[in-house]
Amino acid sequence: MKTNLEFGPICRALLRNKVGAVLIALQIALTMTIVVNAIFIIVERQALMQRESGIDEANSFYLTSTGFGNDFEPKRVIEQDLDVIRNTPGVIDAIQINAIPISGGGWSMSLTTEPGDDQEDVSTANYFVDAHGINALDLEVIAGRNFTATDIRWRERNQPDWPDNAMITKALAEKLFPDIPWQSVVGKTVYIGDDEPVIVTGIVDKLQAPWIGWSELENAMLSPEKMVSESTRYFIRTEPGERDRLMAELEDTLANAYGNRLIRNVTTVTETRERSYRQHSAMIKILSTVMVLLTLITAMGIIGLTSFNVNRRRKQIGTRRALGASKQAIVRYFMLENVIISTTGILLGVAMTIGLNMLLIEWFAMTALDWYYIPAGMVVLFVVGQLAVLGPALKAAATPPAIATRTV
């Protein structure tokens, strides 16, 4: 038997009894607003967290060596240490480095393509590495050449000048010289501190700066230097699976190799990434929890309202059954009622979602919501609504038609 959908009568009945329906529609709208924006923020944060630093994070760690005593000779100890580390089985390569990518602390500077203090500059992170830097950091020189031993110099404390050459990331090359192919940047001169020339001798594929929230995260320069300092940091890349063993082993080895120093802060790059992105992951967890809770509360609200309506309308449902409604027709009635309430809430939610996103853009400089989040949110909330109403609707359908003849 063909049954007419009761769209009109349901709408009219809802308008006469609107408080519960309006509250649920508002709850759906609010849920959609928060859930869609939260998902967008989560996806954005996840994308940030998934950015590659460019180094072999899984197999790398670093440690700090701090010497003390009048007879401490930094250059000799550093050379000895690097020699010991590089010759340890399981180590691929090691360098002394001034900063660790994505760790939160490091050096930055400004580069210009012409001398003079009125030139537009580009900011970059600066890493001091020797000729082993490329191998230790697992970078690839995609144009030009790697440093050679003769390029490397010792940087004394507070030394103001810079080496004659440097390698830069492809991203930095494109920022500095946007009008020429990045490969052509090799051989170009850039200027540090307005007028100190440095020739770009190589371009590496990718190396992130230490600051994950920095807008110029992909800008990095490798300077061919080793630092004369009592406190120094070694970056070590190991064979796959050897990292954890070598962390303990090299800590002991270095401590035993030279007595007047402390080996501290033995840390994996994986831990560093986790620490640096902790705020992001916390935000994702909080937003996910809020989303799940809100969706559950909305679903429970729908279940509650429908259950209340089913109990309140038991006699009506029995009467409808007596008048010829099949069980399916009763289920369909409640599902359709929910479609009307949900659609109202969802449409209001679309406007509120866009409104909240506009406010977030204005207040927190967030990016605009991608259009497809809105239809996706609409579908999700629609499905949640229909699933939530199904249980009470089936309960309603089980109402016996004989209830219609009961007078109490």
Binding site for other proteins (CB under 8 A): 1-4, 6, 8-9, 12-13, 16-17, 315-316, 319-329, 400-402, 404-405, 407
Sign of CA dihedral 34, 36, 39, 43: negative
Q: What is the smallest separation between the CB atom of 309 and other proteins, expressed in angstroms?
A: 11
- Work out whether strand 165-169 and strand 189-192 pair parallel, antiparallel, or are unpaired: unpaired
Residue 66 is inside which H or E element, if any? strand 60-67
Angstrom distances, CA of residue 148 to CA of 151, 184, 224, 263, 310: 5, 21, 9, 29, 81
Q: What is the smallest separation between the CB atom of 399 and other proteins, expressed in angstroms?
A: 11
Look-up: residue for tokens 């090299």? 250
Q: What is the smallest separation between the CB atom of 312 and other proteins, expressed in angstroms?
A: 11
Cβ nearer to other proteins, comparing 1 with 149: 1
Cβ nearer to other proteins, comparing 243 with 320: 320
Cβ nearer to other proteins, comparing 2 with 157: 2
How far apart, in whole angstroms, are the C-alpha atoms of residue 207 and residue 127?
Answer: 10
How far apart, in whole angstroms, are the C-alpha atoms of residue 101 and residue 126?
Answer: 10
Q: What is the smallest separation between the CB atom of 322 and other proteins, expressed in angstroms?
A: 5
Cβ nearer to other proteins, comparing 13 with 247: 13
How far apart, in whole angstroms, are the C-alpha atoms of residue 62 and residue 243?
Answer: 10
Cβ nearer to other proteins, comparing 4 with 215: 4
Q: What is the smallest separation between the CB atom of 295 and other proteins, expressed in angstroms?
A: 29
Q: What is the smallest separation between the CB atom of 403 and other proteins, expressed in angstroms?
A: 9
Q: What is the smallest separation between the CB atom of 345 and other proteins, expressed in angstroms?
A: 20
Residue 227 is inside which H or E element, if any? strand 220-227
How far apart, in whole angstroms, are the C-alpha atoms of residue 136 and residue 170?
Answer: 19
Q: What is the smallest separation between the CB atom of 331 and other proteins, expressed in angstroms?
A: 12
Q: Among residues 266, 249, 232, 233, which one has the least CA distance to residue 68?
A: 232
Taking the CA of residue 246 as centre, how many other CA atoms within 13 Å lie in the half-sphere pointing to its CB?
26
The three-class DSSP label of residue 1 is: coil
Q: Among residues 211, 200, 206, which one has the least CA distance to residue 107?
A: 211
How far apart, in whole angstroms, are the C-alpha atoms of residue 333 and residue 345?
Answer: 18
Cβ nearer to other proteins, comparing 34 with 397: 397
Cβ nearer to other proteins, comparing 266 with 394: 394
Cβ nearer to other proteins, comparing 245 with 315: 315
Cβ nearer to other proteins, comparing 139 with 317: 317
> Is residue 330 within 8 Å of 351, Cβ to Cβ?
no
Q: What is the smallest separation between the CB atom of 324 and other proteins, expressed in angstroms?
A: 2
